[in-house]
Amino acid sequence: MSHSASGRLKSAALELAGTFEQSRETWRDAKAEEFEMQSIVPIKRSVEVACRAIDEFAVIMAQMQQECGPPRDE
């Protein structure tokens, strides 16, 4: 579950970056640079951090399941 969440997040971030790069073909002014620095770059960094956390959490959850057994349906 977590790995697929991480994968979807990474995919969405790549799609955003690709779409922005396409817009940069025609949007070449200072506002484009400002938007990239204030919006796109921080999003990329946040996604990287979030994906690392999701992946680490997935490892911990797998370890817990292995040690404690699968979750029970209530």
Give the length of the chain.
74
Name the maximum alpha-carbon separation found in the chain. Answer: 57
Predicted model pTM: 0.75
Show the tokens assigned to 44: 């990329």
Region of 69 on the Ramachandran plot (φ > 0 left; ψ -120 to 50 alpha; else beta) = left
- At 5 the pLDDT is 85
What is the distance of C-alpha 3 from the center of its chain?
11
Q: Is 72 helix (H, G, I), strand (E, B) or coil?
A: coil
pLDDT in tens, the chain (74 residues): 445 888 999 999 999 999 999 999 999 999 999 999 999 999 999 999 999 999 999 899 999 989 997 667 76
- At 73 the pLDDT is 72
